[in-house]
Structure 1
Amino acid sequence: MTRTEDDLREAAAWLDRLRSPQAGEGDREEFETWVAHPRRRDAFEAVSAVDAEIASWDPPAASAWRELKVLAIGGAGLAAAALAAVSLLAH
């Protein structure tokens, strides 16, 4: 069973949702139900791995950010970036 792009999108949304300060026990229980499907678990693990890799990167110096006119990625941005990277892997 192969994960789908929808699985990857949902996995990224779950990653973001579970990181939210508002996430509670009900969210965790819903997640456990969602991730019980092997295809979804695979998608969540893939998104989490890419997210962890991106989070481990050392950002360039502040001057490089200004020169490139790039905003630092944070919170939901990391999940979105992980989803984009994993989507490329899905093809």
Structure 2
Amino acid sequence: MTRTEDDVREAAAWLERLRSPQAGDGDREEFETWVAHPRRRDAFEAVAAVDAEIASWDPPSPSAWPILGALALGAGGLVAVAGMLIH
């Protein structure tokens, strides 16, 4: 099964939702239902891998901040980066 762009978007949203301090048991249960589909699990694992890779980077030099600002990393930026995984 091939993950879709929607799967990747939803996976990024789930990653952000589960990190929220307001996330509770109901959120985790709903996530487990969502991620039970193999295509969605694949998308979530891919998004989580991209997120982990980004988190492992050394902080950029001050001159790189305008470029990173343009990427707007966060849920939307993560979707944009993870969207490359689809292709």
TM-score, normalising length: structure 1: 0.81
- Cα RMSD (Å) of the superposition? 2.1
Q: 1:34 to 1:58 in 2, by over 3 A?
A: same
CA contact 2:46–2:85 (8 Å) conserved in 1 = no
CA contact 1:51–1:81 (8 Å) conserved in 2 = no
* Superposed counterparts of 1:36-55, under 5 Å: 36-55=36-55
In structure 1, the gaps of 5 or more residues are none
Q: 1:69 to 1:40 in 2, by over 3 A?
A: closer
In structure 2, the gaps of 5 or more residues are none
Give me the whole-angstrom Cα distance separating, in 1, the residues matched to 2:32 and 2:7: 14
Give me the whole-angstrom Cα distance separating, in 1, the residues matched to 2:32 and 2:63: 41
Does 2:74 align with 1:78?
A: yes
The one-letter code matched in structure 2 to 1:4 is T
Count of residues paired in the alignment: 86
Percent of aligned pairs with the same amino acid: 70
TM-score, normalising length: structure 2: 0.84
Give me the whole-angstrom Cα distance separating, in 2, the residues matched to 1:22 and 1:33: 19
Q: Based on CA coordinates, which of the two structures has the bigger radius of gyration?
A: 1
